[in-house]
Amino acid sequence: MAEKSLLYIQLEKIQTLAEQALKEIHSEADLQAWHTAHLGRSSALTSIFTQLPKVPKEERPALGQFANQVKQVLEQQYQARAQSLKQEVLQRSLTAERVDITLPGRRPPIGRLHPQTQTLREIYRIFAEMGFQIYLSPDVETDEYNFELLNIPPHHPARDMWNTYHTTVPNVLLRTHTSPGQIRAMREFAPEPIRVVLPGMCYRYEQMDASHEMQFYQVELLAVGRHITFGDLKGTLQDFARRMFGTEVRTRFRPSYFPFTEPSGEMDVECFLCNGQGCNVCSSTGWLEILGCGMVHPVVLQNGGYDPHKFSGFAAGMGPERISMLRYRIEDIRTFWANDMRFLSQF
């Protein structure tokens, strides 16, 4: 009986000391330490349970019941204090980190169109007003479409004008210009007259500088009909330049050579960066070439499905990057594809 009374007293003392210590807890770390000290494997309460087998059999149930009761009470108080501490931490956080909802919010970044996309859309708009429609052709072409059907047979010296990227598949390459789309468009619409714009990326193995890139956009222009003349070509391109750069823009045509047009020419626009005085972009000439053009060669017309005795046509291939350089006074063509946000965000 004396031993029983002693264990009961020990249990009551354990509970009292644990409850008093719990009142002094003010952090989750201290609470975890309290749980280890009063309810852990090495706690005084656990040692009582290890002594129960030594208690007389008739006293053991009542003592065990009381020990379990003490443990349950402490566990409940532990859970209640843990929840209370979480609320206190939350309240302190809300007080210390309070958000002033009257402050203006942060504007999320909004995407913008790439400068080349803006220029391309403007080109499409201008030619759409002239009655041209967009026609898309593939970036990967065969040698036949990229050269042979454009009056550039194998081993022709004119092929040196295009530094070509060839693939591992025989006679398959990355197109060097958008001109192969002429054949595809003519074969699809022949023998009806056509006016199409053929945009797309081109690839050439070239030395890069301020006005040359190894990959670049090109926009091909093609018109085929029964009474199309070089005057129609020149008038169309001059009207395009005025709509793109303003009515005061100065242009010039120079004779040139392309195997798929005859006669052939190139159109220059006065360099806006130096006002015709000469700079790195215009190679100190005061002029910047923006397109090559000419009357469609009879052989190309025939390869496209048109009778060159009844039909004629003109074609032009322009570089939108150079047009963008003139419009926005950009000094280096390489900045278009450098993905520098400081540059792109200006547009």
- CATH number, domain of 126, equals 3.30.930.10
How many structural domains does the chain have?
2
Q: Write down the pLDDT at residue 341.
A: 83
Which residues in the chain show pLDDT less than 70? 1-5, 208-212, 276, 281
Tokens found for residue 32: 């975890």
Indicate whether 32 and 145 sit together in one domain.
no
85 plus 123 within the same structural domain: no
Phi-psi region of 2 (alpha: psi -120 to 50; beta: other; left: phi over 0): alpha
Number of H helices, E strands in the chain: 11, 10
Contact 202, 217 (CB under 8 A): yes
Does residue 61 lie in a domain region? Answer: yes
The label of the residue with tokens 């070239």 reads: 206
Residues 50 and 84 occupy one common structural domain: yes
**Alpha carbons within 13 A on the beta-carbon side of 268:** 17
CA torsion through residues 255, 241, 293, 281, sign:
positive
Please tell me whether residues 45 and 165 are part of one structural domain: no
Is there a single domain that holds both residue 37 and residue 65?
yes
Residue ranges making up the domain that contains 200: 115-344
Residues 65 and 213 in one domain: no
Distance, C-alpha 342 to centroid of its chain: 15
Tokens of 253: 């045509």
Tell whether 38 and 139 lie within a shared domain.
no
DSSP strand pairing (194-203 vs 133-134): parallel
74 and 166 share a domain? no
164 & 48 share domain = no
Amino acid letter for position 207: Q
> Phi and psi at residue 171, in whole multiples of 5°?
65, 20
Answer yes or no: do 165 and 38 share one domain.
Answer: no
pLDDT at 3: 46
What's the confidence (pLDDT) of residue 5? 54
| pLDDT given for residue 211 in this prediction | 59
Give pLDDT tens digits for 153-172.
Answer: 888 787 777 788 889 999 99
The pLDDT assigned to 4 comes to 47
Task: Give strand pairing partners of 253.
Answer: 267
**Which pLDDT does position 120 carry in this prediction?**
93
Please tell me whether residues 148 and 276 are part of one structural domain: yes
